[in-house]
Structure 1
Amino acid sequence: MTEYQKLLVVIDPTTDTQAALARAVELSIPNKASITVFLSIYDFSYEMTSIVSHQEREAMRGGVISQRKAWLEDVLTNYRQEGITINTNVVWHNRPFESIILYAIQGSYDLIVKGTHEHDKFKSVIFTPTDWHLMRKAPVPVLLVKDHDWPVAGKILCAINVGSEDDAHQALNNRIIEHAIQLAAQFDAQVHLVNGYPGTPVNLAIELPDFDSYAYTETLRMQHEQRVHFLASSHAIAVDCCHIIEGLAEDVIPDVAKQIDAELVILGTVGRTGFSAALIGNTAEHVIDSLNCDLLAIKPEGYRSPLADD
């Protein structure tokens, strides 16, 4: 797997403190990676101004973009004084996630870095947050940054799925761990694996009085443990760094991340879109608000964004 050589940082226009940019700079230093900060802006009121001509609306939009570019230069002042080269791009677009993904594809970026915050659960069903769109549709890894330091000798937690032995799941598990190992080498971090396995279905215990729920759960636990340990040994990860816990992934992952004080959780996303995404969602979307650390979302090898065909 190649190192992150081109980083695309999504700027938050509501604050002068850019956690995503600070994290990108940390990531860029060892590999001397290039950084581009990207800001997508849109004001519907400018489109509704019918009393002015098309040329005048274009001029107003240009004025807003120029103001934002000047603001960005102020934000970047300290980094520029430290000799860090950072490119900038400000665009006018009414769908931020779309402009970010298309720019990342066109520029062949290796990583999208964006600050994140807690999302209102009800509103998220109706108005999907930009973070969710990026995790679902971006073909490159997406790093969602929170206010949590990346200390030297810290911990990186890989959320893996060993419930299925099909090639696609195994390939994604390996891809997740490879990203973790690469980052661990940069920051002298320790790689951990976490896997949640299901408990006994309630209906089985009720419908089958002689059903041995303990034996069933133990068999599942041992099966998952064996698969996780095999995966760990193939990547030279210590058994002590493997966490196999009964429960749903969206509950187990944040609990273990808090327990070991991880600075980063890495997991795979399947790119589910449309109606099924609204109803089911991805594990990444369920856990992002429960984590107190960064989240790196990885797509399967060869994933093609639906926006690439637009």
Structure 2
Amino acid sequence: MTRKKILLATDLSCRCDRALDRAALLASTWHASLTVVHALEESPSVTDLPSWRQTLTPAQLALQQIRADMPKAPDVHVDMVVEQGDPASVLLGAIERLEPDLVVTGVARGETLGRMLLGTTVEQIVRKSRVPLLVVKSRPHDAYRNVMLTSDYSESSQRALPTALPLLPASAKISLFHAYDVLFEGHIDDRISARDAAHHRATDEGLAFVANLRANAGTGHAIPLICEYGDPGVLLSDLTHTRGLDLVVLGTAGRTGLLGALLGSVALRLLATLPSDVLIVRPTTG
């Protein structure tokens, strides 16, 4: 069996230590290799100091910090990549060369790769790479236990569960979330009946989707369906708090609604507001 590969993108801030710990935990669980990638955006300064007074280069300092921050996990093989350049370009180049099974990053808002989560770099990564992206926000104490999959019931979103399953222990609780609305609701007199009808349709379709999802993923997990009317961002934020979710799985392509919009403002808003870790999954085709 081919050994799995994990790529960790870090800006070396203390916030990204959480992503480092999660990546190391997953690498140990998977028996996977781990490559740590850091981008240097500024050109190193040139000095005329004698060699005995010259300090380490930015790249050497970055490598030194990565080695110092690495968890003591003797069963995890770690490689390091420190390159100068735009963070998105450095990361996309590393993804293309290494072909990892998963990219992991944190949510720091400082320099280099930390800015990606609230700017345009994350959109470039999601648009240009089909490798799943795990955004770590919480300090990892154990494997993921309470997981919410999001779906618009499209064929492409069927990939989310098989992608997420290797991240999860057998005891993990997995639920499926679907947000629906009512077309042309503003022009309907009996809005309550229209919402009830939409709820029944969404629930019936969701139950069939869950049955196909479990069969295609080959899992015995029971997957309760949560089908709600309203704004998906608000609903997911509420569910994350009330249900204690530690991982939300987002697809990035689909027919309509939540997943159809995830490459736009909804995705960035969820990444910025959800307190849980977020796994972003691209479809294999399309």
Q: How would you bin the TM-score normalised by the shorter chain?
A: 0.7 to 0.9
Give the match for residue 109 of structure 1.
100
1:12–1:18: 8 Å Cα contact kept in structure 2?
no
Tell me how far apart the structure 1 counterparts of residues 161 and 193 of structure 2 sit (CA, whole Å): 31
Q: Which residue of 2 aligns with 1:204?
A: 187
Amino acid at match of 1:242: L
Match of 1:70 among 56, 64, 68: 64
Residue ranges of structure 2 left out of the alignment (5+ in a row): 48-53, 215-219, 255-259
The structure with more helix, counted as a fraction of residues: 1
For residue 220 of structure 1, what is the aligned residue in structure 2?
198
Q: How big is the shift at 1:251? A: 1.8
- Distance 1:158-1:148 versus aligned 2 partners, 3 A rule: farther
Q: What TM-score, normalized to structure 2?
A: 0.79
Q: CA deviation at 1:14?
A: 2.8
Contact 2:16–2:105 (8 Å) recurs in 1: no
Report the CA distance between 1:260 and its aligned residue: 1.6
CA distance in 1, matches of 2:283, 2:157: 9
Q: What amino acid sits opposite 1:28 in the alignment?
A: A
Amino acid at match of 2:40: I
Contact 1:195 1:245 in 2 (8 A): yes
What is the CA distance between 1:179 and its match in structure 2?
2.1
Kept after mapping to 1: 8 A contact 2:88/2:125: yes
Cα distance, 1:231 vs structure 2: 1.7
Contact 2:233 2:269 in 1 (8 A): yes
Partner of 1:308: none
Which residue in 1 is equivalent to 2:248?
Answer: 265
Counterparts of 1:1-310 in structure 2, within 5 Å, are 5-15=4-14, 18-43=17-42, 63-76=57-70, 78-79=71-72, 82-93=74-85, 95-117=86-108, 128-149=119-140, 151=142, 154-162=145-153, 169-170=154-155, 172-184=156-168, 186=169, 188-199=171-182, 201-205=184-188, 211-234=189-212, 235=214, 238=222, 241-270=224-253, 281=264, 283-302=266-285
Superposition deviation, residue 17 in structure 1: 5.9
By how many angstroms is 1:83 displaced?
Answer: 4.8
* Deviation, structure 1 residue 187: 5.5
Contact 1:232 1:238 in 2 (8 A): no
Gaps of 5+ in 1: 53-59, 163-168, 206-210, 272-276, 304-310
C-alpha contact 1:193 1:242 (8 A) present in aligned 2:
yes
Q: CA deviation at 1:65?
A: 1.4
Residue by residue over 1:42-86, the C-alpha shift from the partner in whole angstroms, topping out at 9 and shown as x without a partner, is 21585xx8xx9xxxxxxx9x932122222222223x426x45321
Aligned residues: 261
Structure 2: how far apart are the matches of 1:71 and 1:149? 20
Q: Is the 8 A contact 2:157 2:253 kept in 1?
A: no
Cα RMSD after superposing both structures? 3.2
